[in-house]
Amino acid sequence: MTIIVHHLENSRSQRILWMLEELGLPYEIKRYERNKATMLAPPELKRIHPLGKSPVIEDTDAEGGRVIAETGAIVEYLVEKGDGKLGPLAHRDSVLRYRQFLHYAEGSMMPPLLLKLVLARIPLFGKKAMKRIQPMIDVHLDYVEAELASRPWFAGDEMTAADIMMSFPLEAARSRAGLDASRPATIAWLDKVHTRPAYQAALEKGGPYAYA
């Protein structure tokens, strides 16, 4: 079995490389660079999936090949491929936290971060609008800080795919949305993630990544 990861620089797809390293599953990387003017993904990705977004994976072991898009869907697929490793823990509360943070990362936390990124590129109006966005982001950062202050990982006492999903929005928040030493539990969690051998191996294979 080989998984082909269509990997866009400085994107959510870095999480997929990290997860594959944690699972020990064989994979190949096809790298794509952003348009330097627009920072959008190149049109070549539309040949793989109609949305033209990354991450996208191809499972060459599946009958006829299988293409899967959307980070959360890919993560759940890989948990199955890895025989449940990095999946939800046995305790009921841990299972519920796992499901929540698996979807919270993209469903709730990323939208205001993306909005702030877009507004930052709009002169005058964007700067005014960003002042209203940051308080929304702070609500999320305070919530995450409280959660990580109460346990070592998002679902419980062990790392799961929920932590992998949460890595990108928190890396982005530290880069451009006010996450700093005033939220020590979150910073400690990020530092812990970044020192994992599998994370470091994914960085080496994936190429430059601005948020690590």
pLDDT for 121? 78
Length of the chain, in residues:
212
Residues 70 and 149 in one domain: no
Specify the residue for token string 């948020």.
Answer: 211
- Asked if pLDDT for residue 61 goes beyond 90, the answer is no
Residues 52 and 116 in one domain: no
pLDDT digits (tens, 9 = 90+) for 44-53: 999 999 999 9
- Asked if pLDDT for residue 112 goes beyond 90, the answer is yes
- DSSP for the chain? --EEEEEETTSTHHHHHHHHHHHT--EEEEEE---TTT-PPPGGGGGT-TT--S-EEEETTSTT-EEEESHHHHHHHHHHHTTTTTS--SSHHHHHHHHHHHHHIIIIIHHHHHHHHHHTTSTTHHHHHHHHHHHHHHHHHHHHHHHHHHSSSSSSSS--HHHHHHHHHHHHHHHHS--STTSHHHHHHHHHHHTSHHHHHHHHHH---TT-
pLDDT for 122? 79
Q: Which domain holds residue 27?
A: 3-86+198-206
pLDDT for 25? 95
Residue 53 resides in a domain:
yes
pLDDT band at 54 (very low <50, low <70, confident <90, very high): very high
Residue 97 resides in a domain:
yes
pLDDT for 1? 59
Cα 163 to Cα 159: distance, rounded to the nearest angstrom: 6
Backbone conformation region of residue 194, classed left if phi is above 0, alpha if psi is from -120 to 50, else beta: alpha
- Asked if pLDDT for residue 62 goes beyond 80, the answer is no
pLDDT for 178? 93
Q: Please tell me the pTM assigned to this model.
A: 0.93
Residues 125 and 187 in one domain: yes
The torsion angles phi and psi of 66, rounded to 5 degrees, stand at -140, 130
Average the pLDDT over 121-144 and give the result: 86
> How crowded is the C-beta side of 135, counted as CA atoms within 13 Å?
4
- Report the amino acid identity of residue 137: I
Residues 69 and 96 in one domain: no
- Asked if pLDDT for residue 130 goes beyond 70, the answer is yes
Residues 60 and 110 in one domain: no
Question: Could you tell me the maximum CA-CA distance found in the chain, to the nearest angstrom?
Answer: 53
Which of the two residues, 63 and 135, has the higher pLDDT score? 135
